[in-house]
A and B are shown apart, each in its own frame.
Chain A
Amino acid sequence: MSEHYYDAHDLAKFPEIGKNCPELAAKFFDWYQAVFADGALSAREKSLIALAVAHAVQCPYCIDAYSKDCLGKGADLDQMTEAVHVAAAIRGGASLVHGVQMRGHATKIGM
């Protein structure tokens, strides 16, 4: 076992999750692959969405994988940075919009 909770080499071991419950893993990986194929959205657009979500959920494995995947799918660093800003805006906005709840509670009991 690693001394760290996160190890960069673990990303390559992701398929090992299929060693137990292989049927479920196979379903997951098949579905995962289908999700990222060209469709109504291009594979590049999906990769940029994945990069943004990776930052929102703060998954270092996903950030590693989709930083490379975005470049490989033809995105550039400006586009990737804008995608991260989208994630940050939603995270920041999600906090801020809850301020409306705060204001409701405060108004209800305040004078």
Chain B
Amino acid sequence: MAEAASSSLVSRSSPLASTEAQLEALARVPISREFDDALTACGAGPLTASAPEVLQLNVGKLCNQTCRHCHVDAGPDRLEVMSRETMEACLAFLERSGILRVDITGGAPELNPDFRWLVERCRGLGRHVIDRCNLTILETGPGQDLPEFFARNGVEVVASLPHYRATSTDRQRGEGVFERSIAALKRLNGAGYGAGDPARRLVLVTNPVGAFLPGAQGSLEAEWKRELARRHAVRFDALFCITNMPISRYLEWLIASGNLESYMATLVAAFNPAAARGLMCRTTLSVGWDGRLYDCDFNQMLQLPVTPPALCHVRELNDPSALAGRRVATGRHCFGCTAGAGSSCGGATA
């Protein structure tokens, strides 16, 4: 198993910190067909989006962890966070658009100094709010009261945990992360999360710890519920299985471990037309920390903006219907969302 440095690509001035270098590395891999061709062959192309149903806000790259597979290249050294001004532009768009779901992600979104203000404003507009949480942030000093804050505001918590045991979790996310994650889950349970209450919904997210596809979501969810209850008396509502995208630090690991070609071959061979029809980019609009617009969080990290370019910033988005029917920017990384049972921020899609 190749070890990857546990720091951001940017902090190491890695060539892969450049999105062009990432796209070039993917372009060099011999694959049997391109993503758009695969879509066309199954009648699911060209890929277009409808009016957005989910507004995903990436409020910054700052994170207390430096996970080896992170597609954001987040970490404690990444200081880019969304400003209050940009959040206000997002809220104004949210009000105009009628989008009902706000999905807040990062980095560790809770480290944005205006995170709580943003959540309360979104809830004030009557929107459903999802927080993508790394769990350990709840064990830090300023995050101690977050479970109660989430519960008070009816925030859905979607929390990362690669495995219900420590070995794989710590291997991907850092030494001691599993133990702190379990402590955080117990506190979320204490605040009423994970007991089937729709206003206190707790979802766990697992990514494979290596170069393979995730297991069957339904089967794993039953096993995870049994094992987390038995081993740690922890409960949760649902498990999402998400495929690792071959970009950023995961791409670095694939290259370093000699797994890039075989992983891409696996993704391409596992192309599933049903997953192509359920792609999240069809109904999602992703906003970067600086207010720029993307079709998904992965395109955001590869700096592939929405088209047409006139709609590239949330401030300029006066008419939400202008986004309907737009052509989604695609690339080889998109095979990650259509492999096997499919993958999205909401788990399997097929």
Contact = CB atoms under 8 A, between A and B. Distances in A.
Interface of A: 38, 42-44, 68, 71-74, 76-79
A76 B163 contact: yes
23 contacts: A42-B219, A43-B216, A43-B219, A44-B215, A44-B219, A44-B220, A71-B208, A71-B209, A71-B212, A72-B208, A72-B212, A72-B214, A72-B215, A73-B216, A73-B220, A74-B163, A74-B214, A74-B220, A76-B165, A76-B167, A76-B168, A77-B168, A78-B165
Given A38-B216, A44-B215, A68-B212, A74 B165 contact: no
Given A42-B223, A71-B208, A72-B208, A78 B216 contact: no
A74 B206 contact: yes
Q: Kindly list the 8 A-B residue pairs having the minimum CB-CB distance in the complex, ordered from nearest.
A: A74-B215, A76-B168, A73-B215, A72-B212, A74-B220, A76-B167, A78-B167, A38-B219
Interface of B: 163, 165, 167-168, 206, 208-210, 212-216, 219-220, 222-223
A57 B216 CA distance: 28
Contacts of A71: 208-210, 212
A71 B215 CA distance: 8
Nearest to A43: B219
A71 B214 CA distance: 8
A77 B167 contact: yes
B223 A74 contact: yes
Contacts of A77: 167-168
Chain A's interface: helix, strand, loop or mixed, by majority?
helix
Nearest to A72: B212
Nearest to A76: B168
Nearest to A69: B212
A101 to B, nearest CB: 41
Nearest to B165: A76
Contacts of A73: 215-216, 219-220
Given A77-B167, A77-B168, A78-B167, A72 B213 contact: yes
B240 to A, nearest CB: 13
A78 B166 CA distance: 10
A35 B210 CA distance: 26
Contacts of A43: 215-216, 219
A69 to B, nearest CB: 9
Nearest to B241: A74
Nearest to A71: B212
Contacts of B209: 71, 76
Contacts of B208: 71-72
Contacts of A74: 163, 206, 214-215, 220, 223
A68 to B, nearest CB: 6
Nearest to B222: A42
B210 A44 contact: no
